[in-house]
Structures are given as C-alpha cells and as structure tokens.
Amino acid sequence: MSKPRILVARNIFPEVVERLSQHFEVESNPQDVVWTPAELAEKLADKDGALTTGSQRVDAALLAAAPRLRIVANMAVGYNNFDVDAMTAAGVQGTNTPDVLTETTADFGFALLMATARRMAESEHYLRAGQWTKWSYDLFAGTEVHGSTLGILGMGRIGQGIAKRGAHGFGMNVVYHNRSRLTPELEAECKARYVSKEELLRTADHLVLVLPYTPASHHAIGAAEIAQMKPTANLINIARGGIVDDAALAKALKERRIAAAGLDVFEGEPAVHPDLLTVPNVVLTPHIASATVPTRLAMAQLAADNLIAFFDGRGPLTPVNTPAGKRA
C-alpha cells in the first residue's frame, strides 16, 4: 500500500519533517513561501493530509480543490483559519495544538502586561535615540502591577495561567469574564472572581484578552468598550487580531483615553494599522506569544502526532471537529 501524501505548508523543524517522512510521502516548504490560496489548493490537489499554521485558510473552496484531503493538523491552538463547518461537511478532520503552549503563552501575556504597564518599549526607544540626558521624577512613570486589578476576557487554559501568575505572583485582584463560568475549584485555584463584561471593563487596571476569535468576538473591544475602561488602564491582546478594533484603539491611545496597550496580534497581520506604529504608548510584538524553541517544537510534534495517529487508524489526538462521513 502506498503511503499517504502529506503537505507541510510552512517551514517547520527539520526533525519533525524527517519524522513525518518515515510515515508519509511528504512535500514540505523549506523556503517558507507563503502560498496564495490558489497555490495552496494546487499543492493539496493530490494530498491526503496537511500540516498548516494559522496563516493558511482552510475553507470550502480549498476543500473542493483537494478531493483526497482527510485531515488538516493546525500547528496552533487557535483555529479560526479553519472553516470548521465546511471541513465537517466535507468529512475532513481538523486538529489543533492545545496544552503544549499554555504556560509559555501565559508567560508572554504577563511579560507584555508588565512591559506595557512599565513603558519598557517606549523608554527603550528614548534611550536608544540618545534622548536620556537626566533623571526626572516622572520619567516614564507607569502604572502599578502588584496589587492592581487584573481583568481577563476569555478564561480558558491560557487565561487561567495568566490569572494564577497575577494572583499568586503579584498579589493582583483578578476578575474575569467568559462565555461560561469556571467551577468553584478552578476559581479558587486562580483566585479569580467572575464578573459581567461591563464590570470587567470598568474595573480592570490591566485588561488581558485571551478569547478565541469567532464572528461573535469580532471587535469585542471597540470604541464603546474602550470608553468604559479607566483612563489609567492598559489593554493587552495576545488572542487574535480582529477581536480589537485596531483603528479605534489607535485613536484612543493617541487621545490617551487609556494609558497604553500591548499587542501581539493585529487585524490583517502581518500588516499593522499605520496609526499603531506612530503612537508611543503601545508595545508591539509580531505574534510571538508561543515562541520559545521547546514550545514551538512541541506544537509541531503534536501536529505531526495527530497526522500519524489519524492515518494509523487510532484517531486524532486533539480534534476540533467530528466529521460524520469519511472521504474516499
């Protein structure tokens, strides 16, 4: 029997490609070309499976062009690049990479919170530009982290990781809002109190976004929500571009309606709203919250594990859908 054919859509760890090659006929992308949807469709025309990242859109048009495709393993926990309904209807399995990135991503969320509150990017630019000539009492005076109120919107695994860091490490008062409330045990572990979205916006000194991107969360933070925040508050987005209305945020930062923002994700990334590039009170990073070598390797290995388990007949390890039918 011939081996299943797999496309690895982006350049990933060579050892993971090598491991996949022991099980499959693999076409990889060592040049790391970001294929257009048409190029990706062409590549998938004869493939049985694919390993993707968040930058490949998997929708009905792509699936129609890939009649043999049975599984797409995303190397990401978020899978808003998948049209899950279209995949399920077409009998295509989707998988993601939960758990392996939780603590690393929570570390980064906290780092971005601290960098934003303590104005680390802005002050570094000032120093590099040779503008530091003397001490002054209010030079880059920021907002307090310890003992302040940490607000978390979206309380999944990563949100809980951030809550624990804030509550246990920095004595923060943690409030959260989520589609569903945590169990009393988890709330106690995170020392977190469930509040309405309105109360969250009104009371948070640092508001961290950690919710998935869905049509319902599109622009969950826009001008109206920002207007409810404290003028001294910081907004941190490590979730997905599109959850924040970036144009409204840039305007609010410019007008100092809130103190600052820390952003790892952007609407239409890798493009960044030009106004965000010119306002000083924002820390900008290029979608790197999960980017440590061990974590990115664990993500790639889990995506590979999903492909191997699926074609071995053991079923996917971390499925995101349950396709009823099976493709030929």
Residue 149 and residue 204 in contact, taking contact as beta carbons nearer than 8 Å: yes
Q: How far is the CB of 194 from ligand 8YV (least distance, A)?
A: 24
Interatomic CA distance for residues 54 and 101, integer angstroms:
14
Q: Is 240 a catalytic residue?
A: yes
237 binds ligand 8YV (CB under 6 A): no
- Tokens for 222? 């826009």
Q: Select the span of 16-24, 71-79, 121-129, 175-183 touching ligand 8YV (CB under 6 A).
A: 71-79
The pairing of strands 173-177 and 25-27 is unpaired
> Which region holds residue 290: left if phi is over 0, alpha if psi is between -120 and 50, else beta?
alpha
Catalytic residue among 165, 240, 273, 296: 240
Token pair 């508001």 is at which residue?
207
We find the least distance from the C-beta atom of residue 39 to ligand 8YV, in angstroms, to be 18
- Binding pattern for the stretch 38-57 against ligand 8YV, x by CB under 6 A and - elsewhere: ---------------xx---
Using CB under 6 A, which residues numbered 254 to 313 contact ligand 8YV? 290
For position 76 contacting ligand 8YV by CB under 6 A, the verdict is: yes
State the nearest-atom distance from the C-beta of 10 to ligand 8YV, in Å.
Answer: 8
Q: Any contact of residue 109 with ligand 8YV (CB under 6 A)?
A: no
**Residue 268 is which amino acid?**
G
Cα 127-270-242 angle, rounded to 5 deg: 105
Q: Which of 9, 20, 77, 261 binds ligand 8YV (CB under 6 A)?
A: 77
Q: Is 244 in the site for ligand 8YV (CB under 6 A)?
A: no
Backbone angles phi, psi at 50, to 5 degrees: -145, 150
* Residue 42 among the catalytic residues: no
Catalytic-residue membership of 218: no
> H helices within 53-165, ranges in order?
60-64, 84-90, 102-117, 120-128, 157-164
Encoded tokens for 245: 């209305």
Question: Which stretches of the chain bind ligand 8YV, using CB under 6 A?
Answer: 53-54, 75-78, 101, 290
Q: Catalytic site residues?
A: 240, 269, 287
